[in-house]
Amino acid sequence: MQSLPLSLFLILESFHLAASAVDQFTFDGFAGGGNLKLDGTAVVTPDGLLMLTNGTTLLKGHAFYPSPLRFHEATKGGGSSPVRSLSTAFVFGIVSEYADLSSPGLAFVVAKSGDFSTALQSQYMGLANARNNGNASNHFLAVELDTIVNAEFGDMSDNHVGIDVDGLASVAADNAGYYDDRTGAFRNMSLLNRTAARVWVDFDARASLVNVTMAPLEVPKPKTPLLSAAVNLSAVIEDEAYVGFSSSTGVVASRHYVLAWSFKMDGPAPSLNVSKLPALPVTIAVRTPSNILKILLPIASATLVSAMAIAVFMIHRRRRKYAELKEDWEVAFGPHRFSYKDLFHATDGFSDERLLGLGGFGRVYKGVLPVSRVEIAVKKVSHESRQGIK
Ligand SMILES: *[C@@H]1O[C@H](CO)[C@@H](O)[C@H](O)[C@H]1NC(C)=O
Ligand SMILES: *[C@@H]1O[C@H](CO)[C@@H](O)[C@H](O)[C@H]1NC(C)=O
Ligand SMILES: *[C@@H]1O[C@H](CO)[C@@H](O)[C@H](O)[C@H]1NC(C)=O
Ligand SMILES: *[C@@H]1O[C@H](CO)[C@@H](O)[C@H](O)[C@H]1NC(C)=O
Ligand SMILES: *[C@@H]1O[C@H](CO)[C@@H](O)[C@H](O)[C@H]1NC(C)=O
Ligand SMILES: *[C@@H]1O[C@H](CO)[C@@H](O)[C@H](O)[C@H]1NC(C)=O
Ligand SMILES: *[C@@H]1O[C@H](CO)[C@@H](O)[C@H](O)[C@H]1NC(C)=O
């Protein structure tokens, strides 16, 4: 009777261990969201692309697998084993406003913490800031795909791949490209040519070696890695770590995408089915007006200019209609003065029906002052007339 709850407990406990120890996953596109932990500009688009940056300048975005992975296997004695090997494959694409100029880039990250809120955008790629760059307390390993030369980090070119530990100054870097399996020749690749490409990152725990390999989608994983560097991951990663991506924009509008991603501990990353991938959107509509605006904007501005011209004409005509002209004698006679506008209205616009008589210097009209309703006679003196008393 006592053994049943105990065995149930044991089953539950082993189930719990299995559930918490995620060792591998594959995203052939992110449709459905993939439950990733996103921050900043990072979103999963309706067609299943992980968009790390959205075209707005000087921002950052991160996407991490929702739960941290266990990098040190707990041993029977309660201690912790050496760090485990890891392998990942992903497909990325960078779409910039300009063909040959972009914002810094994106990076695959293994980090103790999934919180990069104090990291900066632009050249810091959402990984560090000026104060903590390179500090061993950062606890991250990153593989950067960088399209900007930053002298402060010793960048080699505006099209390089680097292995970074705790900071942006790479421990190893090379121009983007791959070694052809048949000829052994190096083939340049462009990070910025708006074409999706595949990257593999393999960490061999026994050799303490990080390998980075990349190739166009149609090329299988090349045998010779682009980069191979000794990294003591035990010193970087403690028991658990988050895996994911970090990216940022500088002053050039650009978007950084991850199209597919697979990961495995202690074995090669599951292969990605590239025929299933969502297409990389190759246009960026930032800072260029939309087609509707392109049509409406000229019409709207032409209408505005016409309306303003008509308004100016009307005001000018109105001013001329009621224009005041001061005679010398008026200045001498002081302030008692009716406005021309009032006299105009009092005499119905000097209409012939109000004409009382024709004098030597001008016409005399009968009128009624608008407010006081006082009857008046108005003599209209011709300005051309320079004779007699005005
Ligand atoms: C990009 O994301 C930021 C932060 O989420 C947002 O403020 C901005 O409007 C977005 N830009 C575009 C072009 O969607
Ligand atoms: C590294 O970071 C730690 C913790 O934030 C800090 O105490 C230390 O002073 C930093 N080291 C350097 C060289 O800045
Ligand atoms: C590859 O690119 C680098 C850097 O831009 C350049 O120096 C080199 O000549 C290129 N190699 C080939 C084979 O095009
Ligand atoms: C971009 O570069 C890759 C690798 O060099 C190449 O396979 C692809 O054809 C290029 N695409 C364009 C549109 O130039
Ligand atoms: C890393 O690259 C080196 C050198 O090419 C190779 O000997 C080693 O087997 C590679 N390791 C992994 C895990 O791919
Ligand atoms: C790697 O780092 C761990 C933890 O800091 C340290 O104990 C070990 O000696 C390091 N190994 C090498 C080869 O430097
Ligand atoms: C890859 O995806 C395509 C389209 O969904 C499918 O037909 C094919 O069987 C898949 N290949 C593998 C190896 O899973």
Burial class (CB in 10 A: 0-12, 13-18, 19+), 243: buried
Nearest to 64 by CA among 88, 95, 98: 88
Burial class (CB in 10 A: 0-12, 13-18, 19+), 125: buried
Q: Whose CA is nearest to atom 12 of ligand 2?
A: 135
Amino acid symbol at 34 = G
Question: What's residue 41's pLDDT?
Answer: 97
CA of 43 to the centre of ligand 6 (A): 37
Residues 222-244 have pLDDT tens digits of 999 999 999 999 999 988 999 99
- The strands making up 375-381's β-sheet, listed across from edge to edge, are 355-358, 362-368, 375-381
Neighbours of 22 (CB within 10 A): 16
CA of 260 to the centre of ligand 7 (A): 14
State both tokens at 53: 């940056």
- How many residues can be counted in the chain? 390
- CB 276 less than 6 A from any atom of ligand 7: yes
State both tokens at 96: 């910039």
Q: By the 8 A CB rule, do 281 and 54 touch?
A: no
Q: Average pLDDT in the 163-181 region?
A: 98
Q: By the 8 A CB rule, do 324 and 318 touch?
A: no
Q: Give the number of the atom of ligand 7 that is nearest the alpha carbon of residue 273.
A: 1
- CB 81 less than 6 A from any atom of ligand 2: no
The whole-angstrom separation of Cα 89 and Cα 219 is 14
Question: What's residue 262's pLDDT?
Answer: 97
Neighbours of 156 (CB within 10 A): 14
Question: What's residue 292's pLDDT?
Answer: 47
Q: By the 8 A CB rule, do 231 and 203 touch?
A: yes
Domains of the chain: 6-288 (2.60.120.200), 292-389 (3.30.200)
Q: Whose CA is nearest to atom 11 of ligand 3?
A: 188
Name the pTM for this structure: 0.74
Question: What's residue 3's pLDDT?
Answer: 44
Question: What's residue 282's pLDDT?
Answer: 84
Q: Is 294 annotated as a binding residue?
A: no
Q: Give the number of the atom of ligand 6 that is nearest the alpha carbon of residue 232.
A: 1
Residue 7 reports pLDDT greater than 80:
no
Residues 111-146 have pLDDT tens digits of 999 999 999 999 999 999 999 999 999 999 999 999
Residues 34-60 have pLDDT tens digits of 799 999 999 999 999 999 999 999 999
Amino acid symbol at 71 = F
Residues 8-19 have pLDDT tens digits of 444 444 344 444
Q: By the 8 A CB rule, do 130 and 122 touch?
A: no
The helix (H) or strand (E) run that includes residue 236 is helix 233-236
Residues 271-311 have pLDDT tens digits of 999 998 999 998 775 444 444 444 454 455 556 656 666 77
Q: By the 8 A CB rule, do 107 and 160 touch?
A: no
State both tokens at 349: 């616009």
Better-scored residue on pLDDT, 364 or 197: 197
The string of DSSP codes covering 275-329 is GGPPPPP----SSS--HHHHHHHHHHHHHHHHHHHHHHHHHHHHHHHT-----HH
Confidence of residue 160 (pLDDT cuts 50, 70, 90): very high
- CB 175 less than 6 A from any atom of ligand 3: yes
With the most atoms of ligand 3 within 8 angstroms of its CB, the residue from 156, 158, 188, 191 to mutate is 188
Q: Average pLDDT in the 169-182 region?
A: 98
- CB 215 less than 6 A from any atom of ligand 4: no
State both tokens at 248: 């940022």
Residue position matching structure tokens 């008509």: 310
Residue 154 reports pLDDT greater than 90:
yes
Confidence of residue 1 (pLDDT cuts 50, 70, 90): very low
